[in-house]
Structure 1
Amino acid sequence: MKIASWNVNSVRSRLEHVTNWLQQNPVDVLCLQETKVVDADFPHTGLEALGYNIYIYGQKSYNGVALLSKKPLEQVTTGFASILPDIEPGWDEQKRIITGIIDGVRILNLYVPNGSEIDSEKYKYKLGWLNLLHKYLQTLLSTTPNICMCGDFNIALEDRDIHEKVSSIKNHIMSSDAERQALKELLELGFADAFRKFTEEGEHFSWWDYRTMAFSRNRGWRIDHHYLTPELYKKAISCVIDIEPRKLEKPSDHTPVIVEF
């Protein structure tokens, strides 16, 4: 099974990129983040023509996640409240979580908040969101042992996941101590980084800022991840970052990450 994660930064703006990539890389499941479109306007036709079942959780102009699957998914749910019914409704105003099961594997597609600036209200929201995700995962793990948790985490867990011009800056957004600790606590529930099973060295990134010629200089961040529960981690045979879509005209600032097991 091949599962890809890709923050497309507007699925309608990048629809040709996505369809062309799927024709060349017919993965079993494609997890999209930052689709930036309400459900009624999601571009189904071209993607369904490629044989994908589509599950969406969208929002106008911001956020939004989707699952594209060759096989129909089971138990598809969206948002925190579907698993944690007693939470405050405001936590699901931003559309950031969708999950479903394929062949006994739960795919959990996340678009973690960016946080904007250290100690800002958006930063506090990010840490609160990650804390809620911890409770959400505890509930999922009690019923589904095999989980592939993937998406745009907006967190570089280690300094080797960031280009050297930034890695030395303490408490930078997306690599602050509090963000990293929150992510570590999620992983301590029983998840491991699929990419690091196969690649130890740095200088491998999944996101490059549009500014300052970051991509051509490879001044990027590895913030798009696949985290696997133990049995899936054992079965994983590859996890790669495909930088080719980032070379296209008017690309997303992220590029796909693909795990196979």
Structure 2
Amino acid sequence: MKLATFNINGINGRLHNLLRWLAEARPDVVCLQELKCQDDNFPEQAISDAGYQAIWLGQKSWNGVAILSKTGIQEVQRGLPGFANDPNSRYLEAIVNKMVIGCLYLPNGNPFPGEKFDYKLRWFRKLQAHARKLKHLGLPAALIGDFNVMPTALDVYKPDKYADNALYRPETRAAYKTLLKQGWTDAIRHLYPDVPMYTFWDYLRQAYERDAGLRLDHFLLSAPLAGRLTGAGIDRHVRGWEKASDHAPAWITLKK
């Protein structure tokens, strides 16, 4: 079984690329972030024609998350639990193939310091609380998406440059580490402990061509799923397509 995540950076403007990648990569489940469309503008028919059922939580101009599945999908949560006043569409949870899938788009938090960074840390704390509850259920569960954090120096091409960036601040990395201490497994880093694995390249200064990348997109697996992990990768070439998102799709495979 193949699970994937893709910050599409505008689903309608990049629908052709999404459909092209779906046909090429053939993932079973996909978590999408940064839809940048309202609910009634989600391209449901095109996604269905590609062979996927979908649930989504949209937002005008910004944010938005969706889960696509080749099989049945049961929505169980819209919005991050415990954060009822969050004005942004950043979390969606479903049961797919007897797994709990939490699709998330964690706040960027820049500039630091400031209100946006404080919001990022509040969101992280709510995620930690929800993740703890999920783990205690003992179910196969995965938190998947754009976490907007580079967990270690291996996840950023030039660590010194990002010392005061909200994506790499010590507080941000500590919040991510707290999730790992709960017992979640960072799937990509688990399989590739010593290899730079980037999922994002800025549009500026030929970052993609220079491989000046960041690893922002992650799969956190509960113990029942971590034991089924067989592979992981990043479809880096998709970032080189015309009108590409600044993220590339990442994926993992699980044995049944």
Correspondence for 1:112: 106
* Conserved? CA contact 1:160–1:167, under 8 Å: no
Correspondence for 1:90: 85
Task: Quote the Cα distance in structure 2 between the aligned partners of 1:51 and 1:144.
Answer: 31
* Conserved? CA contact 1:159–1:167, under 8 Å: no
Give the letter for the 1:220 counterpart: G
CA displacement 1:26-59 (0-9 Å, x = unmatched): 1111110000101101011111012211100000
Q: Superposition RMSD on alpha carbons, in Å? A: 1.4
The alignment partner of 1:101 has SS state of strand
| Cα deviation, residue 144, structure 1 | 5.1
TM-score (norm 1): 0.93
Correspondence for 1:244: 237
The alignment partner of 1:215 has SS state of helix
Q: Does 1:162 find its partner at 2:156?
A: yes
Task: Quote the Cα distance in structure 2 between the aligned partners of 1:2 and 1:169.
Answer: 32
Give the letter for the 2:85 counterpart: G
CA displacement 1:69-89 (0-9 Å, x = unmatched): 111112432102xx44xx5x3
Correspondence for 2:205: 212
Q: How many residues align?
A: 254
Correspondence for 2:49: 49
Task: Quote the Cα distance in structure 1 between the aligned partners of 2:240 and 2:75.
Answer: 36
CA displacement 1:169-201 (0-9 Å, x = unmatched): 533320110000111112222101111222123
Correspondence for 2:142: 148
Task: Quote the Cα distance in structure 2 between the aligned partners of 1:137 and 1:199.
Answer: 24
Give the letter for the 2:65 counterpart: V
More divergent stretch after superposition (139-148 vs 38-47): 139-148
CA displacement 1:110-168 (0-9 Å, x = unmatched): 1000001211110000001101111122222333521111100000000010003x346
Task: Quote the Cα distance in structure 2 between the aligned partners of 1:241 and 1:161.
Answer: 13
Give the letter for the 2:121 counterpart: L
* Conserved? CA contact 1:3–1:27, under 8 Å: yes
Alignment counterpart, residue 100 of structure 1, candidates 94, 105, 114? 94
TM-score (norm 2): 0.95
Q: Does 1:232 find its partner at 2:234?
A: no
Correspondence for 2:120: 126
Task: Quote the Cα distance in structure 2 between the aligned partners of 1:180 and 1:33.
Answer: 21
Identity among equivalent pairs (%):
33
The alignment partner of 1:237 has SS state of strand
The alignment partner of 2:207 has SS state of coil
